[in-house]
Amino acid sequence: MNNSVTETDHVDWAGVFYRIRQQPQMIVGMIIVALVLCTMVFAPWIAPYEPTKLDILNRLAPPSGNHWFGTDQIGRDIFSRVIYGSRISVTVGLGVVLLAMRTGAVIGAFSGLAGGKVDTAIMRIMDVMLSFPSFVMAIALASALGPSLTNAMLAIAVLRIPFYVRLARGQALSLRERSYVKAAETFGSSRIRIVWRHIVPNALPPILVQAMLDIGAAILTASALSFIGLGAQEPAAEWGAMVATGRNFLLDQWWFPTFPGLAILTTAIGFNLFGDGLREIFDPRAQGR
């Protein structure tokens, strides 16, 4: 059609801002993520009480001016615990994704560029790993490593690795066939230069977008493991574990499991909306035109 400049590869920043404004959900996501990050950093200033401070006389109190989200079965302030809980959840989410992405991207890029038997072997292993039902395997791994937050994180991260391996390998393979990489080969660029100069910078954006999308999922999975007792342990203020305890008080003290769960939901929505928006913006097929 009419041939004005169509950008598929290069980022058109004016266009990016325009597209962000076109996506109200992404802005909502960004705001949520920003709030959660602030909460995490400023938790001691925001929380009215120490998250572990007991007040046995005031146990299972309903939400009030003193205790916005009520208190739990040993009189701890649920609001303060939810605030502090952001530290655990976000750390876990980021930790899982960083670990999985870095490991996966390196293996994937190596596999794709190495090619041949090495590539085949790595990819077979990854195919097998991808066929593991990941949550079930996370349960197995986490229970074997012993119930702790670090172990839960490790278990989730290990099982996310194959996704990044695939993604990075796919990127490496398709970029290797681009004519600008071939052109670089023709004037004698070394392999290392081609990888660092041409492949890595162009392969990174889709991998980062995927990572962004994964943070929400990682937070959810970690809280689920905590909920069934394989993650954070008492007295840590972890949202999933709080819901698990609160479950026993559901019918009479609804606030106890509700607010920590709401925190998980909100945070996950925030990261997912933000990630979705990023994908929409950086997806070359959505661009152009």
Touching other proteins, residues 221-280 (CB under 8 A): 221, 223-224, 227-230, 240, 243-244, 247, 250-251, 254, 257-258, 261-262, 264-265, 268-269, 272-273, 276
Contact 222, 154 (CB under 8 A): no
Question: Which 13-42 positions form the footprint of other proteins (CB under 8 A)?
Answer: 18, 22, 24-25
| 50: contact with other proteins by CB under 8 A | no
| The two three-digit tokens of residue 50, written as one number | 């120490």
Q: Collapsing DSSP states into helix, strand and coil, what is residue 178?
A: coil
Exposed, middle or buried, 27 (CB in 10 Å: 0-12/13-18/19+)? middle
In the complex, the smallest distance separating the C-beta of residue 164 from other proteins, rounded to whole angstroms, is: 16
| 57: contact with other proteins by CB under 8 A | no
* Cβ closest to other proteins, residue 53 vs residue 124: 124
- Residue 13: other Cβ atoms inside 10 A: 8
The greatest distance separating any two alpha carbons of the chain, rounded to the nearest whole angstrom, comes to 78
Per-residue contact flags (x/-) with other proteins for residues 65 to 104, judged by CB under 8 A:
----------------------------------------
- Report the residue from 41, 115, 183, 234 that binds other proteins according to the rule CB under 8 A: 183
| 198: contact with other proteins by CB under 8 A | yes
In the complex, the smallest distance separating the C-beta of residue 205 from other proteins, rounded to whole angstroms, is: 10
- Binding-site size for other proteins (CB under 8 A) equals 78
* Cβ closest to other proteins, residue 65 vs residue 179: 179
Residue 276 vs residues 13, 183, 209, 247: alpha-carbon distances, Å = 18, 34, 8, 32
- Report the residue from 20, 145, 173, 208 that binds other proteins according to the rule CB under 8 A: 145
* Cβ closest to other proteins, residue 87 vs residue 178: 178
| The two three-digit tokens of residue 98, written as one number | 């960083």
| 210: contact with other proteins by CB under 8 A | no
Contact 29, 271 (CB under 8 A): yes
Of 49-57, 64-72, 93-101, 175-183: span binding other proteins (CB under 8 A)? 175-183
| 53: contact with other proteins by CB under 8 A | no
Handedness of CA 69, 271, 52, 227 (dihedral sign): positive
Contact 97, 213 (CB under 8 A): no
| 180: contact with other proteins by CB under 8 A | yes
| 133: contact with other proteins by CB under 8 A | yes
Strands, E assignment, 6-150: none
φ and ψ at 77, to 5 degrees? -75, 115
Residue reference for tokens 């976000």: 90
Distance CA 119, CA 194 (A): 19
* Cβ closest to other proteins, residue 52 vs residue 202: 202
| 137: contact with other proteins by CB under 8 A | yes
| 2: contact with other proteins by CB under 8 A | yes
